[in-house]
């Protein structure tokens, strides 16, 4: 085919665009898929007072607009530090928490004055030994019956 000007095409047939395709070739649309953002496990970050929280630097690779809880080692405070998209810190948020011991409810603890247990519902060692002996007898009888049968007599497929 001779190389001539095509008025219906925007570019001549020999033109190759900077993206690597000529004007005559069909191009499939490029779809960009966003990879799902996986949350990273955050270790507990400890700082010494409000000065330490203000001096805390954003970890490398963390996305912007992320809040990081910073636990104070000197006082019962949790500081929440975040950064904007430009990497500048937002105002520090400070929350006081009250570390109180957990009270144990006395009703939940086992006591010596519990209700009597009905032992009729439980199996004894003798009951279990008797069941074990019966099961062994049934297994031996079944093995002896199967040893005398041929493969055609055995019901392998569940059909009678």
Pairing outcome for strands 77-82 and 45-47: unpaired
**pLDDT by residue (tens digit) across 48-80?**
999 999 999 877 777 777 888 999 999 999 999
Which CA distances in Å does 97 have to 11, 47, 48, 55, 64? Answer: 70, 16, 16, 22, 27
Pairing outcome for strands 45-47 and 67-72: parallel
Between 37 and 136, the more confident residue is 136
Between 64 and 109, the more confident residue is 64
Least confident of 9-23, 29-43, 62-76, 96-110: 9-23
| Domain residue ranges of the chain, discontinuous segments joined by + | 45-96
d(CA 80, CA 71): 9
Cβ atoms 42, 71 nearer than 8 A: no
Whether residue 131 has pLDDT greater than 60: yes
pLDDT computed for residue 8 by the predictor: 63
Between 86 and 72, the more confident residue is 72
Ramachandran bin of 145, using left for φ above 0, alpha for ψ from -120 to 50, beta for the remaining angles: alpha
DSSP letters for 82-118: EB-TTSPBPPPEEEE---PPPPPPTTTS--TTPPPP-
pLDDT computed for residue 43 by the predictor: 77
Q: What are phi and psi of 55, to 5 degrees?
A: -85, -10
pLDDT computed for residue 142 by the predictor: 84
Query: What DSSP designation does 60 have?
Result: T
**In 128-155, which positions are buried (b, 16+ CB within 10 angstroms) versus exposed (e)?**
eeeeeeeeeeeeeeeeeeeeeeeeeeee
pTM for the full model? 0.40
pLDDT computed for residue 149 by the predictor: 66
């Amino acid at each position: 085919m001779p190389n001539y000007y095509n008025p219906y095409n925007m570019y001549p047939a020999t033109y190759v665009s900077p993206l690597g395709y000529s004007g005559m070739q069909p191009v499939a649309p490029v779809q960009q898929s966003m990879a799902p953002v996986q949350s990273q496990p955050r270790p507990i970050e400890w700082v010494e007072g409000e000065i330490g929280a203000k001096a805390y630097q954003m970890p490398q690779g963390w996305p912007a607009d992320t809040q990081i809880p910073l636990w104070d080692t000197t006082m019962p405070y949790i500081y929440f530090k975040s950064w904007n998209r430009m990497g500048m810190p937002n105002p520090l948020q400070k929350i006081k928490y009250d570390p109180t011991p957990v009270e144990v409810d006395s009703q939940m603890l086992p006591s010596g004055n519990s209700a009597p247990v009905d032992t009729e519902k439980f199996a004894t060692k003798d009951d279990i030994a008797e069941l074990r002996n019966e099961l062994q007898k049934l297994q031996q009888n079944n093995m002896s019956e199967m040893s005398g049968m041929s493969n055609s007599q055995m019901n392998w497929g569940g059909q009678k």
